[in-house]
């Protein structure tokens, strides 16, 4: 990935030479270039600001230095970037321009992931009262850049450099090879709308003060991965409800509510053929992102007909989830026709505007609970490039089956079902 940063304080970006981001630069995973805006000012004072029209306190950054700086960055094309890294080659390549500012869209983990797939990002660090508004128009209309104003939070900083440091670290750590163990990215805060669960290390029993011993929760030393996954998810719900209740759907907000309780505010029912048209529409809305993630739109939910959906209802047990009459989610399950001991899970989908709130995990728990008592394994399939799905399933206790999945470009995942103990007394 290539990153260009324009600032009047280029030395502010020096911390990006440290730690994992610095190593990524030295390893060639990041091509970071910092430009001094004052190099594009032509008066003897190298001035980049002036008084605002209409009056008011403070100064406004002038359009001409910014126009020249951004044209210089955009005009450099793929110069110095690895071959093939920028679409369209050097001549046609253009960066996505990010302007940090308190009036922008919030910077979230979801946006960090979106930016992490961009081959080239440019950052414009404003100062004072901001950048002349005409610069945004120029960048979009004359240079053909996609311009995004992004806010680090609901507060005001002196300039955009601090925000760029945070954004670059959040984005760059998602690039393959930057974090040594990619699994460490799976269950972090905000990855699926919840905060991270508490973590522990050795010793298992720690004497924090004379006579005061603090122990690691016993479930973490049980070796039962399904119980550990359930405990961790519950901890995430409780921690999010306590610290960030705004992140939770209302049905999850009560601390201690089971995962299945996330469905309490919805109408859950067994699907009928009358639901097929809405299921077809919801499936296409949900699987477009999967097609992008996997580089192919030849995916059954995107190409099947209404009759195919109706036929599927006769072959699978399907549940619908509605909110005020609107279909917002669905999942289905059945015995594997070739292996009756396996419970197949499929078409787990949540309306895009409700994703990241735990509803998908609750639907997964719902369909697992519906499995016949004599089944021993749950199975699910997803695209090899569907990282969000893979994280969700791993957190639910599923593990990838080696080799190609049931369909080209996919992964099969399975987990053993826990059998209820029988009282022999």
Residue 156 labeled ligand binder: yes
> What pLDDT does 418 receive?
67
Same domain, 7 and 101: yes
311 is known to lie in a ligand binding site: no
Please tell me the predicted confidence (pLDDT) of residue 187. 45
Q: Structural domain tally of the chain?
A: 2
**177 labeled binding residue:** no
Question: At 10, which CATH number?
Answer: 3.40.1280.10
Tokens of 15: 């911390």
Q: What is the pLDDT of residues 304-336, one digit of tens each?
A: 999 999 999 999 999 999 988 889 999 999 999
Number of alpha helices (DSSP H) and beta strands (DSSP E) in the chain: 12, 16
The verdict on pTM exceeding 0.85 is no
In the numeric block, the tokens 């440290």 are attached to 18
Question: Do 108 and 17 sit in the same domain of this protein?
Answer: yes
User: Which SS3 state, helix, strand or coil, does residue 329 take?
Assistant: strand
> Was 398 annotated as part of a binding site?
no
CA Rg, the chain, in Å?
26
Q: What count of residues does the chain have?
A: 425
Same domain for 279 and 161: no
The pLDDT value recorded for residue 355 is 82
Q: Is 153 annotated as a binding residue?
A: yes
13 is an annotated ligand-binding site residue: no
Last residue of a domain, one of 185, 219, 237: 185
Sheet strand arrangement including 399-400: 267-270, 317-323, 326-335, 342-350, 377-383, 410-416, 399-400
Structural domain including 98 reads: 2-185
Residue 225 forms part of a structural domain? no
Q: Is residue 400, in this structure, part of any structural domain at all?
A: yes
Does residue 60 fall inside a structural domain?
yes
340 domain residue, yes or no: yes
* Ranges of the chain whose pLDDT falls below 70: 78-92, 179-193, 246, 248-262, 418-425
The reply to whether 154 sits in an annotated binding site is yes
Q: Which pairs from 46-50 meet CB under 8 Å and 24+ separation?
A: 48/8, 49/127, 49/128
Evaluate whether 10 touches 39 at the Cβ level (below 8 Å): no
Q: Is 310 exposed, middle or buried (0-12, 13-18, 19+ CB in 10 A)?
A: middle
């Amino acid at each position: 990935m290539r990153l260009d940063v324009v600032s009047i304080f280029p030395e502010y970006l020096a911390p990006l030479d440290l730690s994992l981001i610095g190593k990524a630069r030295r390893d060639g995973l990041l091509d970071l270039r910092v430009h001094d805006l004052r190099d594009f000012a032509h008066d003897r004072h190298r001035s980049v600001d002036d008084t605002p029209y209409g009056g008011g306190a403070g100064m406004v950054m002038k359009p001409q230095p910014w126009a020249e700086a951004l044209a210089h960055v955009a005009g450099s094309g793929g110069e110095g970037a690895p071959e093939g890294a920028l679409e369209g080659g050097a001549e046609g390549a253009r960066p996505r321009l990010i302007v940090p500012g308190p009036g922008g869209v919030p910077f979230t983990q979801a946006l960090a992931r979106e930016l992490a797939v961009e081959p080239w990002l440019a950052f414009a660090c404003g100062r004072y009262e901001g950048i002349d508004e005409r610069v945004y128009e120029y960048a979009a209309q004359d240079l053909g850049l996609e311009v995004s104003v992004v806010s680090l939070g609901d507060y005001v900083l002196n300039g955009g450099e601090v925000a760029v440091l945070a954004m670059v670290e959040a984005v760059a750590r998602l690039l393959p090879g930057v974090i040594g163990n990619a699994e460490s990215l799976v269950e972090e805060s905000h990855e699926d709308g919840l905060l991270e669960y508490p973590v522990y290390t050795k010793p298992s029993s720690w004497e924090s003060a004379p006579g005061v011993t603090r122990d690691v929760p016993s479930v973490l030393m049980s070796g039962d991965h399904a119980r550990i996954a359930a405990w961790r998810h519950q901890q995430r719900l409780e921690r999010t409800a306590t610290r960030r209740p705004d992140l939770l759907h209302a049905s999850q907000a009560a601390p201690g509510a089971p995962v299945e309780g996330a469905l309490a505010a919805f109408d859950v029912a067994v699907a009928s053929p009358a639901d097929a048209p809405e299921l077809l529409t919801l499936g296409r809305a949900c699987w477009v992102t999967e097609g992008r993630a996997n580089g192919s739109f030849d995916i059954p939910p995107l190409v099947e007909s209404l009759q195919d959906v109706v036929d599927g209802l006769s072959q699978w047990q399907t549940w619908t989830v509605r909110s005020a009459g609107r279909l917002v989610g669905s999942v289905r399950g059945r015995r594997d026709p070739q292996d009756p001991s396996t419970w197949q899970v499929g078409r787990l989908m949540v309306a895009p505007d409700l994703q990241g709130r735990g509803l998908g995990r609750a639907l997964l728990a719902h369909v697992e609970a519906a499995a016949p008592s004599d089944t021993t394994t749950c199975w699910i399939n997803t695209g090899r490039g569907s990282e969000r799905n893979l994280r969700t399933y791993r957190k639910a206790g599923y593990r990838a089956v080696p080799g190609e999945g049931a369909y080209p470009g996919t992964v099969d995942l399975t987990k053993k079902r826990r059998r209820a103990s029988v009282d022999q007394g």
